[in-house]
Chains A and B, each alone.
Chain A
């Protein structure tokens, strides 16, 4: 397979690849995992009488996801929750809904529920609170003491050499994914809520044009 600029790491015996886009690829199972897409954020703001921000984030996020699925040839897609900015936002515009359906065709698709989208959505795919595949469990928010856990929620970002980038965090027990959605912010990985979830020696993997690993604690 051609170089995707990713970075390999092991979690409970599973070899995973962090991709520069913020997606996680499990080659052995052909699974692509993405977290915190926040689709429909602009629509939600507008619906609530707030600002009318540019309504392009859903198609931008989907086009990046499409490219990752294409590159990896994934057979399963797991969206780790907060896929939609709220449940009403899951009523996507027709063009985006069709695009999503095209991506879902011929693939297993799992929507993990998140705090923004805590219920089933009227789109194809399975809707679950969590899913376990082999040694790994996929859920939205990390649980204390979990092993082999893949989660999202926190939108971690890391500062290095004067730049802040969304990052994967992992310590061999668990991995937390960066937010994949276009309209998302981030939380410093040094924040105690995040830092406290990891053992000493944990790794941050910065996204960008290539994945760049660095120690979480410096």
Chain B
């Protein structure tokens, strides 16, 4: 491609814009079946992706859908539609652009299936749903290009695996389909190219100039950060100062709950009444749209946000990014930083605000990594089978299929390129019969084979399968809305478990305002506005990322230094105090402290293996302690350490921490624990073993629904080799259990354990006492405490008469 066609070159020229080399490259290579573009934020990625489409559509001859654009975020789809409509209108191109997400009305979605636009902007879930209808072939007839935006983010999750399966399906429907992936800078572009490639065909990579280094530093505050916790409340005055000194500031938080609390506190201290808004995925659509519109209009000075603004939504004139809380992962930090100065080849400006003392060290490590352009990344294994099971069910909803054809199609998807026929058949058998050792469902199979084609036995099943499309398995969410007499305005969503914990009169934060719980009506949490009261905070169990291996290694390296001139004085002092009182963790050995405090006995293990692996370590250790009769009661894990408490002292933890024995017993121990049950729940929902909600059942509620824990226990007891248990184990090993990092910890430290028995909590251990997310251990100690609590209540109520009998 040497020159742009006239309307395009004129349009660029009229704006004094130049076409970037990578935009030109994508246009020149528009005929390639697959391409991956790597470009920094602000590099005109999206336009690069769309230019070939606009050029091809310019003559107005194309009928029906031409390009499908898929982004991980609903907001991104809407934003792209706005940004794309401008050049299209200004050049007078005969191009119809629409978006389609979970927010799109039913009528509109129906119409889009019958009469699709030229360019449809959507999400992986909406695409999967469209493919589940029998008219999919007609909807996608003529489709020529697919653009997958933010593919680096999608490639990290099951949503991406599902999307690649959907692309394989589309490729069968439209054999000439070309695909383009748009990615931020990543450490291993080959992995993403292989993820996107229509196997066995390759996916070449186009890399744009990565741009200048960002200006990034730690925010210096008068007040030192607290010992533990998140949120960064202490830094609010300093952050407000920064907001005053910039045009538009994005203030990122790692979780929605933290964003809510921070926004509330920020507003209380915002004496100049700077226009500051909040944006996250749990807010009502109306609220999100309002904030987005205000951003585009440039009327906001700051936005408190979470990952929902992580991805390249191109709006506003952001000149500062503030990351509150440790970034956990250098790659994501770099992408967030890129949000500032959203102009190509201008350095971004960013500030890190550690939320506590531990995070100061992590932020220092992250700064060093960013300067060294040292991105981290943990490789992902092959595509998970629960996603494949859902894909098979969706295929059956659309039309009867042949197993051979579907297998061939599925293995053209990058994540499933190495899938064996036996693995595929096991998934198909699960979808058809349940795959149980006991063949109970001869009559009631979900899929039946007729004339060589698999199809749904009961067409009614399609409705439930469609309701369960998607791989995001957050807890059930309930809408929060003002009571009818206050306007019935929807405010956002909270988790069902949180709603269940509320009693009328309780207050909580949503969308930055304090509301009072009035009651539950059907599936809506009704609230009224409540001013001037301390809120009981909404709990969103947002994804908790583990600090990457790379960052943990850098933290250990910092601790190995003789002194710390580059760290803030308060943190350097804290490290020195820990070295004096106990010891500093170092690479190549494992530091374990043991001490009494507040009537309990504690053990603290400094593994630096990331939150998930430290959590697993807690499970393994407490299990060993239970066996040894040490009455463990619970533990809490952070990215750096695990703190365990119990009734009996652990004076010599080394034999307990026999690494070989821990490793050998891992399988057994994991089987019955809560992490496995939580993983099983996700797998069971994605694979269609259990619906995320039965139509009409949740209203009548309680007795009808039972926990997936029961299904897990039943399978373990009667069908231990069942596919769902295997999938659960695979997922847990690389996800919440993070077995790989425990292995790495074992390899890193060998069996070298350094033990310190102390009289009281150490400078490093003390902050862990205030961590949230404590995990109880259901052993003998707990049974003892439950009986004691019951006896106490019985005595108080004067009911201590009858004694256990039978």
Q: Which of A8, A161, A186, A210 contacts B802 (CB 8 A)?
A: A8
- Chain A contact residues (Cβ within 8 angstroms of B): what range? 35 or more
A155–B703 CB distance below 8 A: yes
Q: What chain A residues lie within 8 Å of B782 (beta carbons)?
A: 161, 163
B398 to chain A, nearest CB (A): 17
Is the C-beta of A118 less than 8 angstroms from some C-beta in chain B?
no
B510 to chain A, nearest CB (A): 24
Is the C-beta of B273 less than 8 angstroms from some C-beta in chain A?
no
Q: What chain B residues lie within 8 Å of A162 (beta carbons)?
A: 776
Q: Which of B456, B688, B717, B789 contacts A160 (CB 8 A)?
A: B789
- Bound-state CA distance A215–B792 (Å) is 10
Within 8 A of A (CB), among B778-806: 778, 782-783, 785-787, 789-790, 793-794, 797, 799, 802-806
Is the C-beta of B405 less than 8 angstroms from some C-beta in chain A?
no
Q: What chain B residues lie within 8 Å of A105 (beta carbons)?
A: none
A142-175 vs B, Cβ < 8 Å mask (1 yes, 0 no) = 0000000000011100001111000000000000
Residue of B whose beta carbon sits closest to that of A82: B703
Is the C-beta of A177 less than 8 angstroms from some C-beta in chain B?
no
- Bound-state CA distance A184–B711 (Å) is 11
Within 8 A of B (CB), among A160-218: 160-163, 179, 182-188, 191, 201, 203, 206, 209-215, 218
B719–A183 CB distance below 8 A: no
Is the C-beta of B5 less than 8 angstroms from some C-beta in chain A?
no
B440–A55 CB distance below 8 A: yes
Q: Which of A49, A54, A60, A188 contacts B722 (CB 8 A)?
A: A54
B615 to chain A, nearest CB (A): 18
A8–B794 CB distance below 8 A: no
Q: Which of A59, A187, A214 contacts B790 (CB 8 A)?
A: A214
A43–B440 CB distance below 8 A: yes
Identify which of B778, B785, B799, B805 gathers the most chain A CB atoms within 10 Å of its CB. B805
B759-790 vs A, Cβ < 8 Å mask (1 yes, 0 no) = 00000000000000000101000110111011
Q: Which of B719, B783, B794 contacts A214 (CB 8 A)?
A: B794
- Bound-state CA distance A218–B792 (Å) is 11
A8–B805 CB distance below 8 A: yes
A159 to chain B, nearest CB (A): 11
- Bound-state CA distance A99–B15 (Å) is 83
A187–B706 CB distance below 8 A: no
A56–B806 CB distance below 8 A: no
A6–B805 CB distance below 8 A: yes
A185–B707 CB distance below 8 A: yes
Is the C-beta of B511 less than 8 angstroms from some C-beta in chain A?
no
Is the C-beta of A52 less than 8 angstroms from some C-beta in chain B?
yes
Q: Which of B445, B464, B802 contacts A50 (CB 8 A)?
A: B464
Q: Which of A4, A153, A214 contacts B806 (CB 8 A)?
A: A4
Q: Which of A60, A184, A211 contacts B804 (CB 8 A)?
A: A211
A-contacting 9-mer, from B147-155, B224-232, B430-438, B594-602: B430-438
Q: Which of A1, A48, A59, A182 contacts B460 (CB 8 A)?
A: A48
Residue of B whose beta carbon sits closest to that of A184: B706
B711–A54 CB distance below 8 A: yes
A56–B438 CB distance below 8 A: yes
Is the C-beta of B690 less than 8 angstroms from some C-beta in chain A?
yes
Q: What chain B residues lie within 8 Å of A50 (beta carbons)?
A: 461, 464, 691, 694
A115 to chain B, nearest CB (A): 10
Is the C-beta of B485 less than 8 angstroms from some C-beta in chain A?
no
Q: Which of A5, A56, A186, A211 contacts B714 (CB 8 A)?
A: A56
A7–B804 CB distance below 8 A: yes
B423-444 vs A, Cβ < 8 Å mask (1 yes, 0 no) = 0000000000110101011011
- Bound-state CA distance A214–B793 (Å) is 6
With contacts A6-B804, A213-B799 known, is A218 near B793, CB below 8 A?
yes
Residue of A whose beta carbon sits closest to that of B464: A50
Within 8 A of B (CB), among A21-38: 25, 36
B440–A93 CB distance below 8 A: yes
A215–B434 CB distance below 8 A: no
A183–B710 CB distance below 8 A: yes
- Bound-state CA distance A48–B458 (Å) is 8
Residue of A whose beta carbon sits closest to that of B783: A209
With contacts A49-B446, A183-B706, A186-B702 known, is A55 near B438, CB below 8 A?
yes
Is the C-beta of B715 less than 8 angstroms from some C-beta in chain A?
yes
Is the C-beta of A53 less than 8 angstroms from some C-beta in chain B?
yes
B442-470 vs A, Cβ < 8 Å mask (1 yes, 0 no) = 01111000000000111111001000000
Is the C-beta of A51 less than 8 angstroms from some C-beta in chain B?
yes
Residue of A whose beta carbon sits closest to that of B468: A51
With contacts A55-B438, A215-B797 known, is A49 near B461, CB below 8 A?
yes
- Bound-state CA distance A46–B799 (Å) is 47
Residue of B whose beta carbon sits closest to that of A214: B790
- Bound-state CA distance A5–B803 (Å) is 11
Q: How many A-B residue pairs have CB under 8 A?
A: 154
Residue of A whose beta carbon sits closest to that of B430: A52
- Bound-state CA distance A191–B440 (Å) is 37
Residue of B whose beta carbon sits closest to that of A27: B806
- Bound-state CA distance A51–B691 (Å) is 7
- Bound-state CA distance A57–B704 (Å) is 15
Q: What chain B residues lie within 8 Å of A155 (beta carbons)?
A: 702-703
- Bound-state CA distance A49–B238 (Å) is 59
A185–B706 CB distance below 8 A: yes
Is the C-beta of A17 less than 8 angstroms from some C-beta in chain B?
yes
Is the C-beta of B486 less than 8 angstroms from some C-beta in chain A?
no
Q: What chain B residues lie within 8 Å of A215 (beta carbons)?
A: 793-794, 797, 799
- Bound-state CA distance A70–B703 (Å) is 28
Is the C-beta of A42 less than 8 angstroms from some C-beta in chain B?
yes
Residue of B whose beta carbon sits closest to that of A218: B793
B702-730 vs A, Cβ < 8 Å mask (1 yes, 0 no) = 11111100110011011100100000000
- Bound-state CA distance A158–B759 (Å) is 40
Is the C-beta of B746 less than 8 angstroms from some C-beta in chain A?
no
Is the C-beta of A19 less than 8 angstroms from some C-beta in chain B?
yes
B718–A49 CB distance below 8 A: no
With contacts A182-B710, A212-B790, A214-B794 known, is A54 near B436, CB below 8 A?
yes
Is the C-beta of B701 less than 8 angstroms from some C-beta in chain A?
yes
A60–B793 CB distance below 8 A: no
Q: Which of B460, B690, B717 contacts A56 (CB 8 A)?
A: B717
A185–B441 CB distance below 8 A: no
A1–B711 CB distance below 8 A: no
Is the C-beta of B689 less than 8 angstroms from some C-beta in chain A?
yes
A116 to chain B, nearest CB (A): 10
Is the C-beta of A47 less than 8 angstroms from some C-beta in chain B?
yes
B701–A187 CB distance below 8 A: yes
B786–A51 CB distance below 8 A: no
- Bound-state CA distance A53–B714 (Å) is 10
Q: What chain B residues lie within 8 Å of A210 (beta carbons)?
A: 804
Is the C-beta of A3 less than 8 angstroms from some C-beta in chain B?
yes
- Please give the residue numbers on chain B whose beta carbons come within 8 Å of chain A beta carbons, in ascending order: 433-434, 436, 438, 440-441, 443-446, 456-461, 464, 688-691, 694, 701-707, 710-711, 714-715, 717-719, 722, 776, 778, 782-783, 785-787, 789-790, 793-794, 797, 799, 802-806
The 6 closest A-B pairs by CB, nearest first: A6-B806, A49-B458, A52-B434, A8-B805, A55-B440, A46-B444
A-B contact pairs, 28 of them (CB 8 A): A7-B806, A8-B805, A10-B802, A48-B458, A49-B458, A50-B461, A51-B689, A53-B711, A54-B434, A54-B718, A56-B436, A56-B714, A59-B718, A155-B703, A160-B789, A163-B786, A179-B703, A182-B714, A183-B711, A183-B714, A185-B703, A186-B702, A188-B702, A201-B799, A203-B799, A206-B790, A212-B790, A215-B797
Since A55-B438, A163-B778 are in contact, a sample of 15 more A-B pairs with Cβ atoms closer than 8 Å, ordered by chain A residue number, is: A1-B806, A6-B806, A8-B806, A46-B446, A49-B464, A52-B433, A52-B434, A53-B434, A54-B711, A55-B434, A161-B786, A183-B710, A206-B790, A212-B786, A215-B797
